[in-house]
Amino acid sequence: MADFGISAGQFVAVVWDKSSQAEALKDLVDKLQALTGSEGRVSVENINQLLQSAHKESSFDVILSGIIPGSTTLHTAEILAEMARILRPGGCLFLKEPIETAVVNNSKVKTASKLCSALTLSGLVEVKELQRESLSPKEIQSVQEHLDYHSDSLLSVQITGKKPNFEVGSSSQLKLSTAKKFSPSVKPAMDPAAAKLWTLSANDMEDESMDLIDSDELLDPEDLKKPDPASLRAPACGEGKNCSTCGLAEELEKEKSREQMSSQPKSACGNCYLGDAFRCASCPYLGMPAFKPGEQVLLSNSNLNDA
């Protein structure tokens, strides 16, 4: 009994099932009552009635389940969760259960690793295996009778788990620093000397001590010259090529068109090409049909003399 760490004044729960022997259960309860003393208490609960017992949370310091010699108790996830609920923070659960050492699909008997995982999922910590031993002939017979399970690879394992030192759903106030922190709405103070350095007023513009740079002085005479279109030609461009990637061909064509328009004959009024209805009385083109703008018209000597 010393292995369970039970001392005077503790509240202990003993969980049993139909496979537990009545005499062995009574003997265990008597020993536990002697350890807990008059200030403690030992409660006996059938595993099938545990969920309906409505124990208050954090009611027991220690829970013993399946510990009675000859017991073949199987613990479901719901039972383990209820045991974790009624344990006090820091309390311990000790259970004993038959396990399967071989991998069997859809087996009602769990393996040791699955049993430890079930305890962890129920909310317990520090889950560990204490003892593993072979089943006695009576225990094998009890498994076959009460669990209707037959296997040659069964063992008995004793596992313990501890409830964390806090209750599920409990809260605690965090200790936050009360130091004054920077607020985005509060602008930091600016150094007056720095503010004066970066502030320029109209009076400063007239101050002869202010050295202002003329932007035109930043340009060289070469920067003001219009570049020659031929100088814009890429090194890979050759004569006769009409490359459409850089746009130089279009620029050269526009320049050629402008030169042709400047070399075309022009009149003072600009309407001579429309015909006599739009020509002046002194127009040398009187009596000639309309012509296209830019078309060169040759006048005979008689026309010139008549004008």
Q: Residues comprising the binding site?
A: 269, 272, 280, 283
Phi and psi at residue 169, to the nearest 5°: 85, 0
For residues 213 and 211, give the distance between their C-alpha atoms in angstroms, rounded to a whole number. Answer: 7
Q: What is the b/e burial string over 75-106, where b = at least 16 CB atoms within 10 angstroms of the residue's CB?
A: beeebbebbbbbbbeebbbbbbbbbbeeeeee
What number of other Cβ atoms are within 10 A of residue 27's Cβ?
Answer: 13
Place of tokens 């009409």: 242
Give all strands (DSSP E) within the chain, no chain letters. Answer: 11-16, 41-46, 60-65, 87-100, 125-134, 154-162
For residues 41 and 9, give the distance between their C-alpha atoms in angstroms, rounded to a whole number. Answer: 7
For residues 71 and 64, give the distance between their C-alpha atoms in angstroms, rounded to a whole number. Answer: 12
15 within 8 A of 50, measured Cβ to Cβ: yes
Known binding site for [4Fe-4S] cluster: residues? 269, 272, 280, 283
H or E stretch at 303: helix 301-306
